[in-house]
Amino acid sequence: MFRILFHRPEIPQNSGNAIRLAANTGSELHLVEPLGFSLEAKHLRRAGLDYHDLAPVTVHADLDAAWLALLPSNVYAFSTTATRHYSDVGYLPGDVLLFGQESAGLPGAVQHAAEVTDRLLLPMAPGSRSLNLANAASIAVYEAWRQHGFRT
């Protein structure tokens, strides 16, 4: 129903958890290369357990390839520098939820790309730096899915 897009993910466990998230919510997972791991990594397989066959996972050579495959759709870029809350959006089926790499988040050029509909914030307690990538994606996907009565 929704499409999770990880831009250059680095940690296999996060992508493995996102595979499980996609399988359990009827979502798709899209990964933009370069990846910081092999899709055959044991950590990725362990985190995704037996969900690999239940979740569509697509790897794109670069962000332009991802745009070609995913647009036209709303694209919501999640960033700690955004000012609009993730819960203030009315999500539509097929929307793309874009997240950056674990060590640096989304580059400014990606956050402000013409393809991005809006930048969204997941609020955190003062002094917090960032959420785990898989956890952030889970919060966003479940809010979007909740808005549609948890239908797949």
Annotated binding site for S-adenosyl-L-methionine, which residues?
100, 122, 130
Rounded to 5 degrees, what angle do the CA atoms 44, 50, 54 make? 100
* Residue whose token pair is 């609020």: 123
Return the bridge partners of 60, or none.
32
Residue 37: phi and psi, rounded to 5, are -165, 170
What is the torsion angle, in degrees rounded to the nearest 10, for the CA atoms of residue 36, residue 37, residue 38 and residue 39?
A: -90
Q: Which residues contact 32 (CB under 8 A, 6 or more apart)?
A: 5, 6, 7, 8, 59, 60, 62, 63, 65, 66
Residues in the annotated binding site: 100, 122, 130
Phi/psi at 49 (5° precision): 45, -125
CA distance 43 to 49: 10
